[in-house]
Amino acid sequence: MDIKCYIQASAAISPQQSFTGDYTPQLLPLTERNLLRAQEPGYAGFIPPNSLRRMSRLLKMGLTSALQCLRNGNASVPGAIITGTGRGSLQDTEKFLHDIRTYEETALNPTPFIQSTYNSVNGLVALQQQCTDYNNTFVHRGFSFEHALLDSILQIQEGAAQSVLTGGFDEMTVEHHYIKSRIGYWKTALTQPADMLESGTQGTVAGEGSVFFLIGTAPSAVELKGMQMLYKPTPEQLSASLTQFLAQQGVAPEEIDLLVSGRNGDTRFDHFYDVAEKVLPSSVEKIHFKQYCGEYDTAGAFGMWTVTQELLSGRHKTALLYNHFYGEQHTFVLLQA
Amino acid sequence: MAERVLITGIGMISAIGNNVEENFRSLRAQRSGIGYSQYVDTIHRNVLPVGEVKCSTAELAEMAGITDATGFTRTTLLGLIAMQEALLSAGIRDAAETPTAFINASTVGGMCDTEKIYFDILDPEKEGTFLQLIDALDCADCTQRIADHTGLTAYVTTISTACSSSANALMYGARLIRAGLVQRAVCGGTEALTRFTINGFNSLKNIDKRHCMPFDNDRNGLNLGEGAAYLVLESESFAQRRKARPMAELSGWCNTNEAFHPTSPSPEGDGAFEAMRKAIAMSGRTLEDVQYINVHGTATLNNDVSEGRALERLFGDNVPSFSSTKPFTGHTLAAAGAIEAIYSVLSINRQMIWPNLNFNARMEELRISPETRLLEESPVQNVVSNSFGFGGNNASLVISKYGY
């Protein structure tokens, strides 16, 4: 990159106690279904009470994590707001579908329709912070947050923005969890996060969350070195691309001292993680972040947040994030302390 | 100096035609595609007019050359038809030969088909091929099916910024080219009419029961539409090397946010003003160089005041000819930016300005009124195309005659 990009601040709402205080990842117990629910923070202090009443869950999580990220970065108006979401506000989409049926297309409340539009969180953040500059939303499974990240890097390289608020958010409802269970997204037997990687079964554990970063040109502790996306690669293409990516970044595989990987225990697709691990030295420390946040379209944002926390802790110098979503959208991100 | 981004191929399907040539003929004949729906199952079917593509989903599958259409939604098929034409018109036989980005846009993905079986999906007693449509509940499904069918795999993604989605897709693709990440990007959007969206806009009281009347004092809302459109963008050097025929240049663009209200623009059109001003500045052209503005012009009460005020503020007493083509196609949401970008290319290539249909009386808030005549042999070198949406998302594109 011609202009260096740094992670200046972040904020994460996730199944973990990640929003406030010191972060220690926990292997949380599940009792009912294979779904790690996000722990919602108190919204007072972020959203005025009259707005709070009308807003659905994902909008509250998205807006609040975005605002906290700006506060953490002592920033108010970023140069751009760019996000990714695979599903947007599912709760609103479902409500409007049910309302259409229940009320037979008459006298419908428009609020769920408005909030179901994928760019509604972006609009709210822009409105609340009076940010009138570049604003974009990507909605493509495991290339939602990732293209938001690339767009953010481009904004900075173009000189259009000094700082970008970049986020990824998704929620999982009980209804949608059932829908996706019908096509094999989740493990059929209740599987604990502690056991999911070794379960030897198809599917995984669902999750959700909202993670924002303030990415900018002012130097800070963690540098975003580069990223690459691959669409439906073969294992051979994956291996060659990772080798080439590291070479382009001027980083020898031995320099990587942390691999944050999206391995999720789905026997159909975990072999890609084996391929990536073979490119790196066997001694590299590994964190499989989906044990902590579950699988969702924009889980990669939680993965990058995990990398950031690890680099800030001083335990590691050079970290690679590798994630894919059901074997289709693959992404490498390289970060350095 | 960043490279120029050229438009070397176009493909589309809309209520006024199944390809670019048919669209052109309808524009020239001033023939609207608005009418009552043949294919959407809604109680509003004979009340709210729409701009529907005049083919059943099975007919679309045949046009797209898909023999087994299981899992292909109307959204995907519309997109495939437009994509095939775009590649053909750019002289690209094998799209996989050159690493090419595919930047698509959609507001509700495969909802047109999934809404019909949604409650069957929720019923554990029901089984069948309809379960193959579950993945089409999102916006990525149509994009990936089109990408897989055509071999566009270098960068694959989908943008959703409501009514400005495909304008943003064009911008993003152009920026990937300028950054040197790819030499070619195919960008645009696809949108099918759905009961979901018709009820959504109807609940907002934004739909006119008559044919929509952009910039008319008596306007009372939009007509929804469907369609798909893609533009092949290439770096100038790459296009020259392969001797591609440039149709126009995408010379300027800007994305701004209103930060005013979730579903309404500011009355003075601040976002629209900035988007147009900065896009024209980027293009290196002056205000006087713009001969035509293809306005967003949805015919909602708010949009036309806001956009009209922005035009008056930016251009003063010299507002160029402007018209909304939504009375032809309806408002095709995520596809609108790309459909209207192609109409802008046609305006330059055919030296014509499209009429704003259904206009009778100037708005009392404005001094300006749209072009209501078809202007032929009209010198057009630079066109501004506007797309504004929910969430305050505004986008303006400048499309210029190449070499000018």
Is residue A166 within 8 Å of A215, Cβ to Cβ?
Answer: yes
The bridge status of strand B321-323 relative to strand B100-105 is: unpaired
Q: Which of B331, B172, B70 is nearest to A139 (CA)?
A: B172
**CB-CB under 8 Å, A143 with B157:** yes
Fold of A5-216: Peroxisomal Thiolase; Chain A, domain 1 (3.40.47)
Asked if B260 is an interface residue toward chain A (Cβ–Cβ < 8 A), one would say yes
Is residue B164 within 8 Å of B397, Cβ to Cβ?
Answer: no
**CB-CB under 8 Å, B393 with A122:** yes
CA distance B202 to chain A (A): 8
pLDDT for the residue B1:
52
CA angle B364–B365–B371, rounded 5-degree value: 75
Of residues B134, B159, B178, nearest to A136 (C-beta): B159
Q: Is A104 left (phi over 0), alpha (psi -120 to 50) or beta?
A: left
Residue identified by tokens 């889980």 is A299
Q: Which residues of chain B have pLDDT under 70?
A: 1, 404
Instruction: Tell me the chain B residues in contact with residue A120 when contact means C-beta distances shorter than 8 Å.
Output: 262, 390-391
Q: Which residues of chain A have pLDDT under 50?
A: none
Of residues A110, A126, A229, nearest to B392 (C-beta): A126
pLDDT for the residue A23:
84
pLDDT for the residue B389:
87
Name the residue ranges covered by the structural domains of chain A: 5-216, 224-336
Q: Do domains A5-216 and A224-336 have the same CATH topology?
A: yes
The bridge status of strand B184-191 relative to strand B100-105 is: parallel
ipTM comes to 0.98
pLDDT for the residue B253:
98
Tokens of A79: 């140069």
pLDDT tens readout for residues A207-233: 999 999 999 999 999 999 999 999 999
pLDDT for the residue B62:
98
Asked if A135 is an interface residue toward chain B (Cβ–Cβ < 8 A), one would say yes
Is residue B201 within 8 Å of B143, Cβ to Cβ?
Answer: no
CB-defined contacts A:B, below 8 A: 170
Tokens of B37: 């729906």
Q: How far is CA A89 from CA A114, B22, B107, B191, in A?
A: 10, 38, 13, 20
pTM of the model: 0.98
CA distance A86 to chain B (A): 7
From first CA to last CA, the distance across chain A in angstroms is 16
Tokens of B136: 């089409």
CATH of domain A224-336: 3.40.47.10
Of residues A101, A135, A147, nearest to B393 (C-beta): A135
The residues in A 290-329 lying below 8 A from B, measured between CB atoms, are 297, 328-329
User: What's the CA gap between B288 and A112, in Å, rounded?
Assistant: 44
Of residues A104, A123, A232, nearest to B262 (C-beta): A123
Is residue B11 within 8 Å of B338, Cβ to Cβ?
Answer: no
Is residue A133 within 8 Å of B257, Cβ to Cβ?
Answer: yes
**CB-CB under 8 Å, B161 with A119:** yes
Q: Which residue of A has its CA nearest to B393?
A: A135
Is residue A117 within 8 Å of B162, Cβ to Cβ?
Answer: yes
Of residues B44, B172, B196, nearest to A96 (C-beta): B196
Residue type, B120: D
pLDDT for the residue B294:
98
User: What's the CA gap between A228 and A244, in Å, rounded?
Assistant: 10
Q: How far is CA B208 from CA B192, B199, B219, B300, B361, in A?
A: 19, 13, 8, 8, 17
**CB-CB under 8 Å, A135 with B390:** no
Instruction: Tell me the chain A residues in contact with residue B334 when contact means C-beta distances shorter than 8 Å.
Output: none
Instruction: Tell me the chain A residues in contact with residue B260 when contact means C-beta distances shorter than 8 Å.
Output: 127
